[in-house]
Every structure is written in structure tokens, then in C-alpha cells.
């Protein structure tokens, strides 16, 4: 089958399936690739320095933070230790004053703004900027990090690494975190139940992505580190973050398309009516 014939079949399939047609249109409208790259870049350039500075001023958090990074990204403990070894926390403390600390934390809102703008673009809402938007993004970053740590702590407390219940709890926790995140960053301009499918999709795929990374990333990071040293580890982490950004954007977009698709909405309504009458 040549390329032209394959394209013709794909176009025919898209034209006959409204959900696929809308997905193709929306991917172009929201500039999917650009949104993924922006979220990944802001996560790398804003969140990582913030974690380093906080670890310098709050040393008791460094072990937990590094363990969290290792578990979520799957880069491996050795790579995380290598990154930590390149950071002189005493030097960070001596060269970063109160003003520098405040600037570093506030700059982390750029990651929140990137996610916020993506959600506003997906749901076709006007951007909330200014002091109000910055305050909300900063609050979200703090709450998001805290909730991720809480979910991780609860999962570790009630399950063992090989427990089959562990991934289910991780998915539930991640879905809840992204459900609340979507509502908070959109300032409540979208109904909570409309945001739920996107949050569930994001949570499910995020956990699968992290668990898959645990198998693939350590060898990839080690190979990069042997070739490029510390830069190789950063490149590997950047690659992981691009995929992470794609999950966030794709989950939000698919979630909206699902709740607005007439076929899916009609099926859910008929099922609800049937179950209601059966009681």
C-alpha cells in the first residue's frame, strides 16, 4: 500500500468518526506540539532549580524529593545521585539569600502558567493573568507538589512495591490530583464533572508512563551519562518531560472531546436512564 492510499484511508476514517475528526482539528487549534514542549521546558527550567534551592534550605526534604523524582521519572537512583552530587548545597545556601529564594520560588509559577494556558486553550477560556493569575499559579505549584508527596507517602504506607493494589492507588491519587489541578487553574470556569474524564485519563497514563519509564529510562540515562556526563542526564530528563507534557495536554484535550461527543454523551444518558428505571 502506497502513501497516497494510506492517507486516503486515514482521511476516510477521520471523516466518518466525529471524535477522530474533532481530535485532528483540536490538535491543530491548540498547537499540541508547542504546548507539550512549553510545559516540558518550563518544568525543566523552573521546577528543577526550585527543588534544588528548597533542598538547600530544607535539607531534610532532599532525600524524599530525590526518591520522588526517581520513582516518578524512572531515571534510576544512580542518575539521581549523580545529579545530587553535582549540586553543592552549601554553596547554594551561601549564594542564595532571602530575595533569591523568593525569586526562585516565584519563578516556578512559569510552569503553572504553562499548564494554565494549556487548559484555557483547550477549554477556550480567556487567560487569567496579572497578580491574580500569578497568585493562583503559585498556590497551585505548592499544592501540586504537596499532593504528589502525600499520594506517594500514602501509597508507600499502605502497600508494598509488589502489591497489585499499588498501581491502582497511584492512578486514583494521580487522577484526583489532576482533577483538582484542572479546576483550580481554570478558576472554576468549567464544571467539575466535565473535567473528570480528562483528569482520569491523565492520571492513568501518567502512572503507566512512570512505571514503563522504570524499565527503560535507567539504561537510557546511563548510556547518555557515559557519552555526555551530566549533560546526558539532563537530556534524558528533558526527553522524559516532553512525554510527560504530552500526557497532560493529551489527557485534557481528550477529556473535553469525550464529554462533548454526542455519541458518547447519548450512550451515557441512555445507560443512566436504564439503570434508573431498573431500580
Provide the pLDDT confidence category of residue 67 given band limits of 50, 70 and 90: low
Distance separating alpha carbons of residues 138 and 112, to the nearest angstrom = 7
Assigned domain for 244 exists: yes
Assigned domain for 10 exists: no
Question: Hey, which of 40-54, 123-137, 173-187, 262-276 has the most confident mean pLDDT?
Answer: 173-187
Domain that holds residue 200: 20-261
Q: What is the pLDDT of residues 222-270, one digit of tens each?
A: 787 778 777 777 888 888 889 999 999 999 999 999 998 887 877 777 8
Distance separating alpha carbons of residues 26 and 123, to the nearest angstrom = 11
Q: How far is CA 107 from CA 45, 127, 193, in A?
A: 9, 19, 31
Assigned domain for 186 exists: yes
Assigned domain for 268 exists: no
Assigned domain for 275 exists: no
Provide the pLDDT confidence category of residue 18 given band limits of 50, 70 and 90: confident
Assigned domain for 271 exists: no
Residue count of the chain: 279
- Would you give the end-to-end CA distance of the chain in angstroms? 53
Cβ pair 242, 40 in contact under 8 A: yes
Question: 93 φ, ψ to 5°?
Answer: -65, -40
Q: What is the pLDDT of residues 38-47, one digit of tens each?
A: 999 988 887 6
Which among 210, 245, 206, 209 has a CA at the least distance from the CA of 114?
245
- Cell numbers given for 278: 431498573
Using a 10 angstrom Cβ sphere, with 0-12 exposed, 13-18 middle and 19 or more buried, the burial of residue 22 is: middle
Question: Hey, which of 1-15, 76-90, 202-216 has the most confident mean pLDDT?
Answer: 202-216
Assigned domain for 269 exists: no
Q: What is the DSSP letter of 164?
A: T
Q: What is the pLDDT of residues 180-219, one digit of tens each?
A: 999 999 998 999 999 999 999 999 999 999 888 878 887 8
> What is the tally of structural domains in the chain?
1
* CA angle 53–225–79, rounded 5-degree value: 50
Assigned domain for 276 exists: no
What is the number of other CB atoms lying within 10 angstroms of the CB of residue 200? 20
Amino acid at each position: 500500500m502506497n502513501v497516497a492510499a494510506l492517507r486516503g484511508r486515514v482521511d476516510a476514517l477521520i471523516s466518518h468518526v466525529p471524535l477522530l475528526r474533532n481530535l485532528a482539528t483540536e490538535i491543530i487549534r491548540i498547537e499540541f506540539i508547542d504546548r507539550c514542549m512549553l510545559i516540558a521546558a518550563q518544568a525543566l527550567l523552573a521546577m528543577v532549580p526550585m527543588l534544588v534551592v528548597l533542598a538547600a534550605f530544607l535539607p531534610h526534604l532532599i532525600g524524599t524529593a530525590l526518591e520522588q523524582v526517581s520513582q516518578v521519572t524512572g531515571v534510576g537512583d544512580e542518575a539521581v545521585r549523580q545529579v545530587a552530587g553535582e549540586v553543592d548545597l552549601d554553596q547554594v545556601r551561601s549564594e542564595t539569600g532571602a530575595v533569591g529564594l523568593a525569586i526562585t520560588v516565584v519563578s516556578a509559577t512559569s510552569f503553572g502558567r504553562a499548564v494554565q494556558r494549556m487548559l484555557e486553550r483547550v477549554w477556550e477560556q480567556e487567560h487569567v493573568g496579572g497578580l491574580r493569575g500569578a497568585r493562583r499559579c503559585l498556590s497551585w505549584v505548592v499544592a501540586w507538589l504537596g499532593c504528589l508527596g502525600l499520594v506517594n507517602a500514602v501509597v508507600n504506607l499502605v502497600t508494598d512495591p509488589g502489591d497489585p493494589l499499588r498501581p491502582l492507588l497511584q492512578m486514583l491519587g494521580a487522577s484526583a490530583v489532576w482533577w483538582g489541578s484542572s479546576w483550580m487553574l481554570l478558576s472554576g470556569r468549567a464544571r467539575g464533572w466535565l473535567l473528570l474524564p480528562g483528569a482520569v485519563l491523565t492520571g492513568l497514563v501518567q502512572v503507566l508512563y512512570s512505571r514503563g519509564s522504570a524499565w527503560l529510562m535507567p539504561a537510557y540515562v546511563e548510556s547518555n551519562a557515559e557519552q555526555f556526563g551530566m549533560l546526558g542526564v539532563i537530556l534524558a530528563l528533558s526527553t522524559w518531560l516532553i512525554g510527560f507534557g504530552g500526557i497532560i495536554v493529551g489527557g485534557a484535550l481528550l477529556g473535553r472531546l469525550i464529554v462533548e461527543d454526542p455519541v458518547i454523551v447519548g450512550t451515557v444518558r441512555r445507560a443512566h436512564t436504564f439503570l434508573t428505571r431498573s431500580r
